[in-house]
Structure 1
Amino acid sequence: MYKTKVISIASVSGGGKTAVTKELRNRFRHAETLFFDNYDFHGAPDDLTQWVKEGPDYNQWNLDPLIADLKSLIEGDVPPEYIIMDYPFSYKNDKLKNFIDLSIYIETPLDIAMGRRLIRDFPYAASIEILNDIEFYLISGRDAYLEMEDTIKPNADFIMDGAMTVSKLVDAILKKLKIESSSTVS
């Protein structure tokens, strides 16, 4: 029998968390995924840029719904070998940190992250919407990205190069984790 290993994947918005989480799930035989963005958290700040300016308190987020799903998977009749979480805070939330066995930070250059985010969030938007988003990023949104770089990145166990393709990034993560071929899908 094995103990379920919980891996968190963090990065800035557009940094590759979701794509890497999904691809890691595809590479493991017995894995489940949880996605931070699928939850509504009580206590979550309404204005992330203001939250960052005031000195972010990662414990302000009540992560109980995510923790309940995590426990349910771990304590299930057939727990997965791995749970991969698309989760931006690494070990910074006191209620969740003890569940995490390994935190990976994807260090994606901010221009690449911005380009990916614009493609993802504005595929059919008018140019004024895109320009407004870029202006917001330059005026105050960038601070949230820098907060991730300054606080979450040094808190992770591994820092990976987010400029790589998803496939190469996942290959590098698996190599870093020294995953045996018997644990992954062939």
Structure 2
Amino acid sequence: MDKPYVISINAISGGGNTTLTKLVAKSLKNSKAFHFDEFDSTNIYPENFYDWSIRGANIEEFDCPGMQKAITESISDNVVDYIIIDFPFGRDHSRLKRDIDLSVFIDTPLDVAMARRIIRDFIDDASDTADSRLKRLKEDLSYYVSRARYPYLDAYRHKNNCDLILDGWKKQEEICEEILNKIKAEPVGTGQPM
């Protein structure tokens, strides 16, 4: 067996990358998924994302040694055919760029991503009172308008180095099918058969 074929799925927060990573992993036989957020205990982040963006948005200030270790071990074990990673920087980050065979960017408009985040983080959260959720939503949106929007915009520059840029407006199943078709079209010997 060749080494596992590594697919990186990248989008802005709320862009659908986590859901799509799970869907692609479910659609590919003998695959394993890794999600950047699942490694928060070992991930390294800039102290302030707005300041980071203003300083030039150097993605090397983010690091994911735990995620890289898990992916490297999975590649070395050579028991899966596909590794799908939900990673915000795709091939642009030095930590994983050599491992990625296919880099995918889900191009989701900021307003759609924001609407999805609101649904995910505020509307679907029944563990809180409505007043408390509304207060948190107002604070979140105010912060987004004044500061958080800029790091979100920085995320779009990572699509330039992706092999496949897909429309984030589409249904997740359609986007998944486009990724699967891209993998099928890969020249023999560059990846695993589907």
Q: Please say whether Structure 1 and Structure 2 have the same fold, judged by a TM-score greater than 0.5.
A: yes
Equivalent position SS for 1:97: coil
8 Å CA contact retained: 2:6, 2:102: yes
8 Å CA contact retained: 1:11, 1:88: yes
Would the alpha carbon gap of residues 5 and 156 (structure 1) be closer, same or farther in structure 2, given more than 3 Å must change?
same
Backbone CA RMSD of aligned residues:
1.8
Amino acid at match of 1:112: V
Alpha-carbon distance, 1:3 to partner:
2.1
Partner Cα distance (2:178, 2:43) in 1:
36
Equivalent position SS for 1:2: coil
8 Å CA contact retained: 2:104, 2:165: yes
In structure 1, the residue matched to 2:15 is: 15
Q: How does 1:28-43 map to 2 (within 5 A)?
A: 28-40=28-40, 41=42, 43=44
Alpha-carbon distance, 1:68 to partner:
0.6
8 Å CA contact retained: 2:32, 2:80: yes
Alpha-carbon distance, 1:42 to partner:
5.2
Amino acid at match of 1:172: E
In structure 2, the residue matched to 1:49 is: 50
What percentage of residue pairs aligned between the two structures are identical?
Answer: 34
8 Å CA contact retained: 2:10, 2:88: yes
Give the TM-score normalised by structure 1: 0.90
2:142 to 116, 122, 135: 135
8 Å CA contact retained: 1:7, 1:103: yes
Instruction: Say whether residues 1:160 and 2:166 are aligned partners.
Output: yes
Q: How does 1:108-127 map to 2 (within 5 A)?
A: 108-123=108-123, 124=125, 126-127=133-134
Equivalent position SS for 2:103: strand
In structure 1, the residue matched to 2:97 is: 97
In structure 1, the residue matched to 2:76 is: 75
In structure 2, the residue matched to 1:24 is: 24
Give the TM-score normalised by structure 2: 0.86
Q: Which stretch has the larger CA shift, 169-178 or 64-73?
A: 169-178
Partner Cα distance (1:169, 1:116) in 2:
17
Gaps of 5+ in 2: 126-131, 187-191
8 Å CA contact retained: 2:34, 2:86: yes
Alpha-carbon distance, 1:104 to partner:
0.2
Amino acid at match of 1:71: T
What whole-Å deviation, never above 9, does each CA across 1:134-160 have from its counterpart, x for those lacking one?
1111111111111011x2111211100
Partner Cα distance (1:14, 1:95) in 2:
23
Would the alpha carbon gap of residues 139 and 170 (structure 1) be closer, same or farther in structure 2, given more than 3 Å must change?
same
Partner Cα distance (2:14, 2:193) in 1:
29
Partner Cα distance (1:95, 1:114) in 2:
28
Would the alpha carbon gap of residues 42 and 120 (structure 1) be closer, same or farther in structure 2, given more than 3 Å must change?
closer
Gaps of 5+ in 1: none
Count of residues in Structure 1 that have an aligned counterpart in Structure 2: 181
Partner Cα distance (2:43, 2:73) in 1:
20
Alpha-carbon distance, 1:84 to partner:
0.2
Alpha-carbon distance, 1:126 to partner:
2.4
